[in-house]
Structure 1
Amino acid sequence: MPRQVDYFCSDAIRQDLKGKTVRGGVVSGIGQVIRIAIGLAAVPILTRLLDPTAFGLLAMVAFFTNFAAMFVDAGMSMATVQRDQISHRQVTNLFWLSSALGLAIAVVVAALAPGIAWFYGEPRLTAITCALALSYLLSGLAVQHQALLRRAMQFKELAVANVASMAMAQVAAVGWAFRFRDTALDYWALVLIPLVSAAVRLVLLWWYCAWRPGWPAREAGTGGLVTFGANLTGFNFVNYFARNLDNLLIGWWWGGAALGFYDRAYRLMMIPLQQINSPLTGVVVPALSRLAGEPERYRRAYTWTMERILLIACPMMAYIGVAAPWVAVVYLGEDFAASGPILQWLSVAALWQTLSASVGWLFISQGRDREMLRWGCIHSLLVAGSFVAGAPFGAVGVAKAYALVFNLACLPLAFWMIGRSGQVRARDLVNLMWRVAPAPLAVALVTGGVRLALPQAPPVRLLLISLGCAAVAWAIAVLSTEVGRTAARELAASLRQTQAKLRHGIWPGGSR
C-alpha cells in the first residue's frame, strides 16, 4: 500500500530537505535513464515500421493538440508545489478546475478537428485529433495528484508512474505497428502513445497519492493560486506558440515528408534534454521553493546542482552536434538521412538549453511569475522570428536560424532578466558556463577529429569509434577542472556509502 504523507504540513516536508533532494535526484535520474532506454529502443523500431509521412501526420496535429494541453494544467500544479502554505480545500478547488478544463478542452479540440484537417488538406487528421482529445480529460484528473507528490518530494512514486506509463505506451505502439504494418491504419500506432500513457499514469498517480478531493467550496487564497497559474500559463502560451511555429510553417510550406524529417531530428535532439530537464524541474523547483527565504543557501544549491547537470548535458549535445549525420542514419535508418543536417543545427541550439531552462525554475521558485511572463513574450518573439526567417530555406534553414538567434539573443536575454534581482545573478550563470565549457569543447574537437580522420568509414563504425574517443576526452576534460574533480569525489563517496548500506542489507532512504 502507498505510504501516508501529510501533503499540507510544510514543516514536515522541509525535514531532511537536502537528503530528499539528493535521493529524489538519484531516483528521478534512474527513472529517466530507464525512460531514455525505452525511447531509444522504440524509436528505431517505429521508424523502420512506419514511413516518414506517419510521423508527419502526428507532427501536424501536434501543433494544435499540444497547444491545448497546456491549458489543462493551467499552471495550477506548479502553484501547488511552489506555495509554502496550502490547504486541502484549495487543492480540492484546483482539482475540480483542472478536471473541468480537461473536459472542456477535449470537447473544443474534437470540435476543431475538421478545421485542422482542412488547414493541412489532410482528411486523416480529423480522426487523429478526435482520438487525442481524450487524453486531455485523463490528464486533467491527474494534475493535482502529481503536484502533491512533487510537493511532498515523493519522487520514487513519480518515477514509477512515468516509467510504467511510457513503457506500456511504447509497447502498445510497437505492437500496433507490427500488426498493421504497410496498411492504411499503421499511423494509429503513434496515436496510441499519448492515450495509453495518460491512462496508465492517471491510475498510478491516484494509487500512490492517498489524497482525495472533496466538493469545491470557497477558500481564501485560491484566487492567488489561480493567478499564479495563469501567469505561468501565459508564459507557456507564448513560449509554446514560438516553439512549435516551426512545425506549422514546415508542414504548411514543405509538406508532410519534410516535416517528418524535421520532427524526427527534433525529437532525437530532445530525447536526452527532456529526460534531464523534465525530472529536474520536479526535483529542483520544490527544493528551491523551500529555500527562497535563505538567499545564500538558495544560490549555492542552484549552482551546485547546475554544475553537475551541465557537465553531462553540454558534452552530450556537443557530441550530437558533430556526429549528427551518423546518428541520424544509424539510429533512424537510411530513409531518414535527410534528418542529419537538421539535427546538427538543432544540437547547436541545444548546447545550453538546460541552462536556459533552469532560468524558468528560478522565476517559479522565487514567485516571479509576472517577470517570467514578460521574459517569455520577448523570448518567444525572437524564436518565432527565427522560424519565419528560416522557413523559405526549408527545414535546415529553420534549424539554422533558430540556432543563431537562440545563442546570440535569447540566452543573453534570459541571463539579464533573471539576474536583475533575486538570489542568482547573471554573473553566476556566466561563471557556470565558463566552469563547464572545457568538457563540451573537448568532446566536439575529438569527435570532429574522428570525422576528419575517417571520411570514408561507414556510419556505424564512425559512431562507435567517435563515442569511445569522445567518452575518453570528456573524462579527461572533466577531471581537469575543479568542479569536475569535486563532482567525481562526491560520486565516489556516494557509491561507497551505497555499497556499505547494501552490504548491511539497507537500501538508502529505506529500512532493513
Structure 2
Amino acid sequence: MKTVSLLRGGLWITYATFVTRIFVFLSNLVLARLLQPSDFGVIGIAYVFWSFFTLFTQDTAGAFIIYKGVDNPKYVNTTYTISLGVGLGLGLLMAISSPWVASFFNEPALVGILIVFAFNLLLSSATYVYSGVMTRRMQYQALANISLANSITRLLCTTGAALLGLGYWSFVIGDTISWIVNALLTRYYSRHRFRLQIDPEIRSEVLTFCFGSVGASLGFYLSFNADNFTVGKVLGNASLGYYNLAYQLSMTLSGISSALLNQLGMPVFAQLPIDKQENALFKVVEQIAFLTAPIYALIFLILDPSVVTLIFGSQWIPICTVLPGLLFYAYFRVVNSPLYSMLVAKGRPDLNARVSLQIAPLAVLSFIAGAYQGGIIGVSIAVAAVLGILWTLYYWWIACKHLHWSMSRFLRPCFIPILLSIPGLAISFHLPFIVKPFTFLFAYLVCIQVVAPQQIVQYQALIHKLYDRLFH
C-alpha cells in the first residue's frame, strides 16, 4: 500500500471529520444563542437512548465488511440483510418504549422525539453498511464529500428550525434530514447493489463478529453515556444542558481522531503483516499522544469564563467547571482509539467488549457518587479517573496480554506527554490571555527536547518527507 495513497486518504478523512466538527460547533454556537440550557437537556436525554440503540448498528455490520472485504457477495449480502433486520426491529422497540422513557424522565416530548429517531435508526442501519463498503474500498474523497453535504444540511436545518422557534425539535429536524441525505448519498457513491439474502453458512460468522462488536459497544455505551443519564436524572435538565455542551466541546478532537482511525486505520491495520502490526500501532499511539496532549492543554487554557461568555453567552459559564475533567478524559480516549481499531482489524472485537463491559459497572457507580457529592463537577472528576486513567491501564493490559505485546512500551507514550504538559500549564495559567498559548507551547517543546528529543527529530524528518513527496 503506497504511502502517498495513505497520505491522501488520511487527508481526506481528516478534512471530512474536521469540517463535520466545525459545522457541529457552529450549530451548537447558534443554538446556544437561540435555545435554553433546558432544551439541550431534553435532547441530551433523547441522544442517550439514540446512542443505546445505534450501538447495535454502528461499528458492527460495517466493521465486518471492512474486516472481511467486499469480494464475496454472500458475506456482503448476508451482512446487509442482517443489518436491515436489526435496524427495523430496534426501530420498533424504540418507538414502543418511548412512552416509558418519557414517563421516567417526566418529559412528554420524548415520545415524539424517539419515534422520529426510530425512523432514523432504520436509515442508519443501511447507511453504515454502505459506508463500510466505501471505507474498505478507500473511497475517502467521496466519504469526505458526503460528510460535508450532511454537515451543511444539518447546520441549515437546525438553525432554520431554531429561528422559527421550534426549540429542541430543531435538533430532531436537522438530524432526520441529515440521515436521509446520508443514506441516499452513500447508496449512490458506493455503487454496490445489495440483495436481501442470508446464507446459512455465513450467518453464524457474521453474527459472532457483530455480537462481539455489540458487546464492546454496549460497554462503551454504559460507560460513555451513563454520565449524561446520571446528570439528567439526578441533577435535572439544566445541569445536563451545561454538561452536554461541555462534553461536545471536549470530544471534538477525539471524534476526529476516532473517525480517522476507524476509516483509515482499520483497513490499513487489517492488511498489514502480523509481524508489523505491533510496531505500527506503537508509532501511531506515540505520535497521536505527543501531538494531542498540548492541544487539549491549550483548549483548557483558552476556554475561560470570558471566552465562554463571548462565544456562547454568560448563561453557559458553568461549563468551565467541568471542562478540565472532560478534557483529561478526552485525551485518553484519543490515545486509546488506535488500539480499538487494531483489535477490530485483527478480528478481536471481543477484547474491546470484555474491557468495556467490565469497567462499565464501576463507571456507573462512580458517576452516581460524583453527582451526589459534587454535582456536574463530581461527575467530570469521575469520568477523568475511571474512563481516563483506569480504562487506559486495564485496556492496554488486557490487549497486550492476549496479543503477547509489551504493555510498558505502549503506556509510556500514553502518559509521558501529559507529564510534559504540566510545567507549561503551571507557568502560563495566570499569565495574560494573549501570551498563554505561546508560553505553554514554548515550555512544552523545551520539555520534549529534554525528555524525548527523538520526537523533535522525528517531526523534522516527517516534515521533510512530506514536503518531498508533495512538491517533488
Over aligned residues, Cα RMSD in angstroms? 2.3
Match of 2:406 among 425, 438, 461: 425
Match of 2:459 among 468, 476, 487: 487
Describe how 1:52-451 pairs up with structure 2 within 5 A.
Answer: 52-73=37-58, 75-83=60-68, 87-180=72-165, 185-218=166-199, 220-291=201-272, 293-295=273-275, 297-326=276-305, 328-392=308-372, 393-422=374-403, 424-433=405-414, 437=417, 440-441=418-419, 443-451=421-429
The code of the aligned residue for 1:174 comes to T
Note if contact 2:56-2:217 (Cα within 8 Å) is conserved in structure 1.
Answer: no
Answer 1 or 2: which has greater helix percent: 2
Distance 1:280 1:448, change over 3 A: same
The code of the aligned residue for 1:366 comes to K
Describe how 1:7-26 pairs up with structure 2 within 5 A.
Answer: 16=1, 18-26=3-11
Distance 2:407 2:103 in 1: 47
* Runs of 4+, deviation exceeding 4 Å: 440-444, 471-480
For residue 431 of structure 1, report the CA deviation from its aligned partner.
3.2
Distance 1:317 1:341 in 2: 15
For residue 118 of structure 1, report the CA deviation from its aligned partner.
0.7
> Do structure 1's residue 467 and structure 2's residue 447 form an aligned pair?
no
For residue 390 of structure 1, report the CA deviation from its aligned partner.
0.7
Distance 1:220 1:17, change over 3 A: farther
What SS does the aligned partner of 2:57 have? Answer: helix
Note if contact 1:265-1:328 (Cα within 8 Å) is conserved in structure 2.
Answer: no
Deviations 1:405-439 (A, max 9, x none): 334422111111011132643122123236x62xx
Distance 1:186 1:369 in 2: 39
The code of the aligned residue for 2:252 comes to I
Aligned to 2:469: 497
Distance 2:70 2:184 in 1: 27
Q: TM (normalized to structure 1)?
A: 0.85
Distance 1:484 1:161 in 2: 36
Distance 1:105 1:225 in 2: 18
For residue 225 of structure 1, report the CA deviation from its aligned partner.
1.9
Deviations 1:222-254 (A, max 9, x none): 321221111110111122022211111111111
What SS does the aligned partner of 1:141 have? Answer: helix
Aligned to 1:41: 26
Aligned to 1:30: 15
Note if contact 1:44-1:333 (Cα within 8 Å) is conserved in structure 2.
Answer: no
Distance 1:74 1:472, change over 3 A: closer
For residue 211 of structure 1, report the CA deviation from its aligned partner.
1.0
What SS does the aligned partner of 2:290 have? Answer: helix
Distance 1:86 1:201 in 2: 24
Greater RCO (CA < 8 Å, at least 6 residues apart) = 2
Seq. identity, % = 20
Deviations 1:13-35 (A, max 9, x none): xxx25443332112111222222
Distance 1:74 1:44 in 2: 29
The number of residue pairs the alignment matches comes to: 468
Distance 1:348 1:483 in 2: 22
Unaligned runs of 5+ in 2: none
The code of the aligned residue for 2:315 comes to D
